[in-house]
Chain A
Amino acid sequence: GQNIDQPTEMTATEGAIVQINCTYQTSGFNGLFWYQQHAGEAPTFLSYNVLDGLEEKGRFSSFLSRSKGYSYLLLKELQMKDSASYLCAVLDSNYQLIWGAGTKLIIKP
């Protein structure tokens, strides 16, 4: 079956750095997405990786290793507004999105 694993919850301190991991086992691979979702709101797109390596976008970076079935989202200079759930999703060989359950990130002052 298809599976995406991410930690359920993480806690970090304002101003620090946090890395949220995502491992996947899917039938084929056509890219990996990270979305941010604040409580009770809609997910918003953060990043897309299809090739191995690091994609940097401001305070957020996303890394992919296709051979290891692994990705991480790196958040730097954490702000209180970064408290949210972070969803990892993989586009499989049928171009269907398979979603992880999300990682709830709690930022403490």
Chain B
Amino acid sequence: DGGITQSPKYLFRKEGQNVTLSCEQNLNHDAMYWYRQDPGQGLRLIYYSQIVNDFQKGDIAEGYSVSREKKESFPLTVTSAQKNPTAFYLCASSIPGTETGELFFGEGSRLTVL
């Protein structure tokens, strides 16, 4: 079945460590996104990519990095520079230029810094 797969679902990290969250999609979508979700706040855009080998910073890119070497894959690295990384991370994809721009989300990855 087509969809978006995020892994791991739960991740624990010590302070000062970098971690990489995986996001893979087989929907053949060009655009992919990373959001962060915190309690009581709306989704906040970290990075997005509309085409392979190109990506743009979102509203809260500091302390994060991404790559888009393949259409299917858009991994997110949470670096030690991210001051408050404990959050729920959501990866999404869409077909750019469609009328609705509907987003398809992965199941999410919950990162906890110990």
Contact = CB atoms under 8 A, between A and B. Distances in A.
Contacts of A91: 101
A43 B40 contact: no
Contacts of B104: 45
Interface stretch (B13-21, B63-71, B74-82, B105-113): B105-113
A19 to B, nearest CB: 20
Given A8-B40, A48-B102, A95-B101, A42 B45 contact: no
A101 to B, nearest CB: 5
Given A31-B100, A91-B101, A95-B101, A42 B106 contact: yes
Interface residues of B, number: 18
B43 A99 contact: yes
A31 B43 CA distance: 17
Contacts of A35: 103
A41 B107 contact: yes
A8 B41 CA distance: 10
Given A31-B100, A42-B90, A99 B105 contact: no
A87 B37 CA distance: 12
Nearest to B59: A96
A86 interface: no
Contact of B105 (A44, A89, A102): A44
The 7 closest A-B pairs by CB, nearest first: A99-B42, A42-B105, A99-B43, A48-B100, A45-B102, A101-B42, A100-B42
9 contacts: A42-B107, A43-B43, A44-B105, A45-B104, A48-B100, A87-B42, A89-B42, A97-B101, A98-B42
